[in-house]
């Protein structure tokens, strides 16, 4: 009789277990269905700075700070300018009394590009150099020092001379027409703008001379008639 009672109890447990399992499954189905529905209907999930709006919607990914503007690292080459003005003593000279203009320096991949536009020159070629100092107090501009020579080559040449046979500041000549206007474009290899290095042109001066530079003898270009300090363009 005891054995029969145990069988009846076990049968009762089995009969109760099946409905309970069905009830549990019934209760869990809505929750499972919601999760699947969200994934299929393009639900939005946000994590950090990335937003995913589903397989059919747009995807937006966070971009690094661009406060400096697009492609800030290459937003433009460094530029410096020299505003040319007559030497204090130029008014006493027979010509080149009012030389003026602008010289623009732009950093390139291998040096500095020079673009110069001057007026007030006598027709012909004029020595055109970078000098050591921006001191223009002397009427003849002797206070501007000698040709800029950071590598101490101590040889005078021209822009096409080998690096060992020229000063870094040897830009050769600029040639004026009958109207006194002159334009020059050239590239000075190895020079820099505003980096504070040995070959940085900023803080030096452009000097225009009265005569042609033969690019051999340093004094061949005659007196200094105009000059301007090289400054970073703002």
Residue range 49-90, pLDDT digits in tens: 434 444 333 322 222 232 333 333 333 689 999 999 999 999
Reported as a pLDDT band with limits 50, 70 and 90, residue 130 is very high
Instruction: Examine residue 194 and state whether it is found in any structural domain, yes or no.
Output: yes
Instruction: Examine residue 23 and state whether it is found in any structural domain, yes or no.
Output: no
Number of domains observed in the structure of the chain: 1
What percentage of the chain has pLDDT greater than the value 70?
68
Instruction: Examine residue 26 and state whether it is found in any structural domain, yes or no.
Output: no
Instruction: Examine residue 49 and state whether it is found in any structural domain, yes or no.
Output: no
Reported as a pLDDT band with limits 50, 70 and 90, residue 2 is very low
Instruction: Examine residue 21 and state whether it is found in any structural domain, yes or no.
Output: no
CB atoms closer than 10 angstroms to residue 191 = 24
Instruction: Examine residue 209 and state whether it is found in any structural domain, yes or no.
Output: yes
Check if the beta carbon of residue 184 is closer than 8 Å to that of residue 116. Answer: yes
Non-local (6+) Cβ contacts of 145 within 8 A are 131, 132, 133, 135
Q: pTM for the complete prediction? A: 0.66
Assess whether pLDDT exceeds 50 at residue 14: no
Instruction: Examine residue 44 and state whether it is found in any structural domain, yes or no.
Output: no
- CB-based burial of residue 151 (10 Å sphere; 0-12 exposed, 13-18 middle, 19+ buried)? middle
Q: What is the DSSP letter of 122?
A: P
Non-local (6+) Cβ contacts of 129 within 8 A are 147, 148, 167, 169, 170, 171, 206, 207, 209, 213, 221
Q: Quote the domain boundaries for residue 94.
A: 78-232
Q: What is the mean pLDDT of the chain?
A: 76
Alpha-carbon distance values, 215 to 110, 167, 168 (Å): 23, 10, 13
Instruction: Give the span between the Cα atoms of 132 and 63, in whole angstroms.
Output: 46
Instruction: Examine residue 159 and state whether it is found in any structural domain, yes or no.
Output: yes
Reported as a pLDDT band with limits 50, 70 and 90, residue 24 is low
Q: Which helix (DSSP H) or strand (DSSP E) does residue 40 occupy?
A: helix 2-40
pLDDT at 203: 97
CATH number at residue 175: 2.60.40.200
pLDDT at 175: 97
Instruction: Give the span between the Cα atoms of 207 and 179, in whole angstroms.
Output: 20
Closest CA to 106 of 94, 117, 98, 114: 114
């Amino acid at each position: 009789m005891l054995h029969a009672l145990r069988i009846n109890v076990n049968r009762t447990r089995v009969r109760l277990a099946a409905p309970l399992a069905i009830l549990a499954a019934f209760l869990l189905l809505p929750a499972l269905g919601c999760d699947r529905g969200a994934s299929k209907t393009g639900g939005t999930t946000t994590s950090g700075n990335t937003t995913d709006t589903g397989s059919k919607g747009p995807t937006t990914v966070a971009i690094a700070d661009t406060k400096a503007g697009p492609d800030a690292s290459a937003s433009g080459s460094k530029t410096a300018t020299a505003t040319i003005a007559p030497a204090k003593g130029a008014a006493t000279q027979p010509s080149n009394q009012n030389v003026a203009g602008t010289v623009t320096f732009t950093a390139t991949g291998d040096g500095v590009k020079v673009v110069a536009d001057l007026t007030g020159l006598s027709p012909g070629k004029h020595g055109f150099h970078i000098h050591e100092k921006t001191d223009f107090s002397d009427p003849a501009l002797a206070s501007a020092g000698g040709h800029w020579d950071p590598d101490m080559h101590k040889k005078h040449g021209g822009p096409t001379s080998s690096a060992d046979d020229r000063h870094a500041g040897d830009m050769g000549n600029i040639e004026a027409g009958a109207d006194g206007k002159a334009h020059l474009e050239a590239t000075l290899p190895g020079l820099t703008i505003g980096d504070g290095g040995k070959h940085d042109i900023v803080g030096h001066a452009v000097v225009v001379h009265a005569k042609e530079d033969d690019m051999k003898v340093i004094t061949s270009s005659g007196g200094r008639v105009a000059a301007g300090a090289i400054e970073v363009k703002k």
